Structures are given as structure tokens and as C-alpha cells.
């Protein structure tokens, strides 16, 4: 498949954009898209979103940035999804991109056989699966008239391999991978990528190092945290943008940073 031209007026949504990988993705995409682009950044924390906006404006002044703060899985998420995906003058955009980055680790302090609270399980999958489906649906409705569309699901090695005591996280990532494989089959004209960014030097590594029940998995993350050998989020974000530019991935594919 031919290389993709991303230097066009683009409507772009990045979830979980207040810090870490989400912030890095928003900045790198802003630097790549063309004049007249609008990037919508969303997360629960408005302070972090303001920081992301300032960084984008410093490196990509040609891009308009819109902040929509809120919980995409919360009780008023339908209205929030509409605000996130509100496209002003759709005819002015040549490309629409959504990056489903927002996610949570979940309770990794228990083995699978110890997960007994239905509310904890339901809330986890509401945040990490159901809300993604609903936001994605709103994005498709709002961008129907934009000819080119790209959907990126931020995934993990955990979608493919079991991590002991990470049943919720592995299950959520596996579900999302398959959902977006189905989308790619249903919508062959839409480019769909599940991108696994690798182990990142973010808050998640610290939480995993402290809370993971399984000693082997915990030791792995303790090592990443102590030795600071995890990837920088900006490095991984650049790899994702490169994948979009090269446009060689099979539609709906799971592609890892190390592939």
C-alpha cells in the first residue's frame, strides 16, 4: 500500500492525552498533520490537558487544539462523546483520526480466581471496552462525510500473552484487539491499527511494580522502574506516527513497537 500523506487538514481525537503516551501521541500527531487541522485532546484531568495544549502550541502552531475534559466512561459519557467528536465544518477536513489511548491497569493485586467483586469487574470493562466502542461509534457518525479515516487502538503484548494476576488488563486488551479486527473487516476503506507501544516509563510501570500479585511479573516491572529501562513515551509515539506514514500494516493488525 502506498505511503500515507498526513500533511493535510485533519480532525484528530486523542484520548488519555493529559500525560505519558497520550500526551506524546497528541504532540507528535500535531507536528505531522497539515494546516487547518484540529486536534481534540481529552482526559479526566484538565490541568494535564492544558500542559499538553501548551506543548502542542509551542511545536505545532499551525494546529488548533481543543480541550474536552471528562470521564469517557462516566454517567454523562454520551454527551461527552458528542462534545469530543463535534466536527466544525466537516467539509474543511481531508482526514479524520481517532487514537483510543485512554485505559487503566485495573486490579493486579489478585489472581484470576480471586476476582469476585462484580462491580469492580463491570466498572473495569465499562472504562476499557464499552466506552471505547461507544466513543468510536460517535466518531464514525460525526466524521461520516470525511473521505479518509484512521482508527488507532493502543494495545499491549498482554492482548496476545497472559500475564499472571493481570486477568482484567489482558482480557480488556484482547477484547479491544478483536473489536478493531472486526471493524477493519467491516470497514475496509478505513485504516485500522492496534499499536502496542512497548513498556513505557510512565506511572503504570510504578503501579505495576508495587501492586502486581505474581512475583515474576512484579519483579519484571520492579526492574523496569529501578533501572529505568522502559521506553520513553515520545520514542514510542514517533514509531506509531511512522507506521501511519508508511501505511504498510495489514488492516486491523496488532503491531508492536519492537516489530
Distance CA 44, CA 68 (A): 9
Q: Do 67 and 86 contact (CB within 8 A), yes or no?
A: no
Q: Which three cell numbers stand for residue 66?
A: 481543543
- What pLDDT, on the 0 to 100 scale, is given for residue 227? 87
Is the pLDDT score of 226 beyond 90? no
Is the pLDDT score of 1 beyond 80? no
Tell me what the mean pLDDT of segment 222-250 comes to.
95
Q: What is the mean pLDDT of the chain?
A: 97
Read off the pLDDT of residues 103-162 as tens digits, 9 standing for 90 and up: 999 999 999 999 999 999 999 999 999 999 999 999 999 999 999 999 999 999 999 999
10-199+233-256: CATH topology:
Rossmann fold (3.40.50)
- What pLDDT, on the 0 to 100 scale, is given for residue 253? 99
Is the pLDDT score of 177 beyond 90? yes
pLDDT interval class at 164 (50, 70, 90): very high
- What pLDDT, on the 0 to 100 scale, is given for residue 148? 98
- What pLDDT, on the 0 to 100 scale, is given for residue 146? 98
Cβ-based burial of 91 (10 A; exposed 0-12, middle 13-18, buried ≥19): exposed
- What pLDDT, on the 0 to 100 scale, is given for residue 228? 85
Tell me what the mean pLDDT of segment 26-32 comes to.
99
Tell me the domain boundaries of the chain: 10-199+233-256
Q: Which three cell numbers stand for residue 45?
A: 484531568
- What pLDDT, on the 0 to 100 scale, is given for residue 138? 98
Q: Report the side by side order of strands in the sheet with 253-256.
A: 64-69, 38-43, 10-15, 95-100, 148-154, 191-196, 253-256
Distance CA 214, CA 164 (A): 6
Distance CA 201, CA 194 (A): 20
Distance CA 88, CA 230 (A): 39
Q: Do 16 and 34 contact (CB within 8 A), yes or no?
A: no
% residues pLDDT > 70 (the chain): 100
Tell me what the mean pLDDT of segment 26-30 comes to.
99
Tell me what the mean pLDDT of segment 31-45 comes to.
98
User: Coil, strand or helix: which one is 200?
Assistant: strand
Read off the pLDDT of residues 60-72 as tens digits, 9 standing for 90 and up: 999 999 999 999 9
Other beta carbons within 10 angstroms of residue 81's beta carbon come to 24
- 136-174 burial by CB neighbour count: b if 16+ within 10 A, else e? bebbbebbeebebbbbbbbbbbbbeeebbbbbbbbbbbb
Q: Which three cell numbers stand for residue 13?
A: 481525537
Indicate yes or no: pTM above 0.75: yes
Distances (CA, A) of 258 to 156, 157, 166, 237, 254: 12, 11, 22, 13, 12
Other beta carbons within 10 angstroms of residue 45's beta carbon come to 13
Is the pLDDT score of 181 beyond 90? yes
pLDDT interval class at 170 (50, 70, 90): very high
Checking DSSP bridges between strand 148-154 and strand 95-100, what pairing results, if any? parallel
Distance of CA 157 to the CA centre of its chain: 14
Amino acid at each position: 500500500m502506498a505511503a500515507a500523506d498526513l500533511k493535510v487538514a485533519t480532525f484528530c481525537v486523542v484520548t488519555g492525552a493529559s500525560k505519558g503516551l497520550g500526551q506524546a501521541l497528541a504532540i507528535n500527531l500535531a507536528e505531522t498533520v497539515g494546516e487547518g487541522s484540529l486536534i481534540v485532546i481529552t482526559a479526566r484531568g484538565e490541568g494535564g490537558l492544558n500542559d499538553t495544549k501548551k506543548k502542542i502550541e509551542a511545536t505545532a502552531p499551525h494546529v488548533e487544539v481543543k480541550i474536552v475534559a471528562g470521564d469517557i466512561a462516566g454517567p454523562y459519557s454520551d454527551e461527552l462523546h458528542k462534545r469530543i467528536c463535534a466536527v466544525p465544518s466537516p467539509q474543511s477536513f481531508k482526514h479524520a483520526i481517532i487514537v483510543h489511548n485512554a485505559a487503566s491497569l485495573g486490579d493486579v493485586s489478585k489472581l484470576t480466581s480471586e476476582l469476585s467483586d462484580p462491580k469492580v469487574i463491570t466498572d473495569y470493562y465499562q472504562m476499557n471496552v464499552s466506552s471505547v466502542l461507544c466513543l468510536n461509534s460517535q466518531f464514525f457518525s460525526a466524521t461520516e462525510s470525511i473521505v479518509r479515516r484512521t482508527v488507532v487502538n493502543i494495545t499491549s503484548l498482554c492482548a496476545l500473552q497472559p500475564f499472571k494476576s493481570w486477568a482484567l488488563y489482558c482480557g480488556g486488551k484482547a477484547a479491544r484487539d478483536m473489536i478493531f479486527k472486526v471493524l477493519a473487516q467491516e470497514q475496509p476503506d478505513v485504516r485500522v491499527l492496534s499499536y502496542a507501544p512497548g513498556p513505557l516509563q510512565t506511572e503504570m510501570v510504578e503501579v505495576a511494580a508495587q501492586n502486581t500479585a505474581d512475583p515474576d511479573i512484579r519483579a519484571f516491572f520492579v526492574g523496569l522502574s529501578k533501572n529505568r529501562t522502559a521506553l520513553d513515551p515520545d520514542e514510542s509515539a514517533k514509531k506509531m506516527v511512522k507506521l501511519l506514514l508508511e501505511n504498510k500494516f495489514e488492516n486491523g493488525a496488532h503491531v508492536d513497537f519492537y516489530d
